[in-house]
Amino acid sequence: MSLYRPKIVVLDTATLGKVSRDYWAQDASSRDKARTLINRLRCLGVFITFTATHVIELLRHGDEQVIRDRVRFLRGIPLIAWVRPYNRSWLPGSIHDVLCRELHVVVHGSARSWREIVEQVRPDLWETGVGSEMFLENDEFWSTISRRGARLHEKEKYTASMARTDAGEVKDMKICEALRLPLRPKEDRDAYTRRFAQELQRQLDHHGDKRLSYSHDAAIDFANRALRSVRAIDEMGGDPVQTLLACVGVPQGLVSPEMTMGEFGELAVYAERLKMISEDLRPSIELRIDDVPPTTLPSYVLERRLVSVQRKAERVSGSDLGDSYIVPLIFYTDAVEVDTRTFEFLNQVRRSEPKLASLMGRVFPSSDYSRIPELFDD
């Protein structure tokens, strides 16, 4: 006997916002459009998916009435699915929970390939129910989520914007080239920091999120923190390269002279993420990146491949981060909706990564939401 597997669609949060707006609209045609969508998906047995990213993005709106309307809308959805948190808590899980599950089947299970990981994670990834089970009547709680979402949004704008910059022009420089650069005298570092901050602000203004309103202060703060890091490494003594590797958790054996500084930065990012994920595993386990290489977890690989494409855009957006957290669900669902910009970015990843592409499900760009049920008409 085959087990029932629900049909799962991941909608873009912008689409969910539009459907909620129309669902409560005074205009009858708008109301009918939204309610017809929900009813058709119910009749087709299609579950609308939620992650922590969806909930936070939907509820960080500045208008309290919009927030209340959205919660009421979400509460009334008849079929919902959400990422089951790895720790079995109540709220929808996030990309962190997906990565925990992928790492679990690698270190505590038998998965050895991307396909085996996806096949072993999928059966236990989803929780299903009705909207009222998840979105309880608790205005104070959802207001707290809204405030947290607003703070997180500011952080996303900052993070995405900073990641687009290269004020020191080092990301494409090979490590062997960087090591041949003359050491900057300590007395020159303050002046260099000021020039670095000026160039960083210029890049933020030209390529960062347009809504980042504090590029000057952000640039100065980042430059000063970088200077403090250099001074801290100096104070530790010894070989500065070895000290840096130890600080970021990257084993020396994984670093080669021909590696670029940008590639080294990616290793450092992965080392930090792996530490966070492995600490949450049950049973817990201490892992290094040479135990679980950066290419091990398919969702992490897809996330970082998408991020690398996003960063080449003339302008970045804080929403890019949320997109990169949601897109990996393409391995575990029937269809994922993304905005047209992310759709093109993802197509670039598909073309450059055929092995990843072979595991991806359907992805579609946002358009008229009334046509979404057509994806499931057999």
pLDDT > 90: what percent of the chain? 86
Give yes or no: residues 298 and 151 share one domain: yes
Residue 287 inside a domain? The answer is no
The pLDDT confidence band at residue 120, using thresholds 50, 70 and 90, is very high
Measure the CA–CA gap between 175 and 173, rounded to whole angstroms.
6
Residue 285 inside a domain? The answer is no
Give yes or no: residues 195 and 303 share one domain: no
pLDDT score of 2 more than 60: no
Give yes or no: residues 41 and 129 share one domain: yes
Q: How far apart are the first and last CA of the chain?
A: 22
Segment 60-81 mean pLDDT: 95
Residue 2 inside a domain? The answer is no
**What pLDDT does residue 4 have?**
61
**What pLDDT does residue 182 have?**
86
Higher pLDDT, 5 or 40: 40
pLDDT score of 15 more than 60: yes
Give yes or no: residues 297 and 150 share one domain: yes
Residue 337 inside a domain? The answer is yes
Give yes or no: residues 67 and 122 share one domain: yes
Give yes or no: residues 337 and 356 share one domain: yes
8 A C-beta contact, residue 55 and residue 48: no
What pTM, to 2 d.p., does this model score? 0.93
Give yes or no: residues 134 and 21 share one domain: yes
8 A C-beta contact, residue 244 and residue 233: yes
**What pLDDT does residue 8 have?**
97
Residue 276 inside a domain? The answer is no
The pLDDT confidence band at residue 3, using thresholds 50, 70 and 90, is low
What residues contact residue 296 under an 8 Å CB cut-off, 6+ apart? Answer: 103, 106
Nearest to 362 by CA among 310, 322, 321, 327: 327
pLDDT score of 5 more than 80: no
Give yes or no: residues 54 and 190 share one domain: no
Q: How many domains does the chain divide into?
A: 2
The pLDDT confidence band at residue 1, using thresholds 50, 70 and 90, is very low
Domain span including residue 304? 7-159+292-376
Segment 352-362 mean pLDDT: 95
Residue 286 inside a domain? The answer is no
pLDDT score of 21 more than 90: yes
The pLDDT confidence band at residue 139, using thresholds 50, 70 and 90, is confident
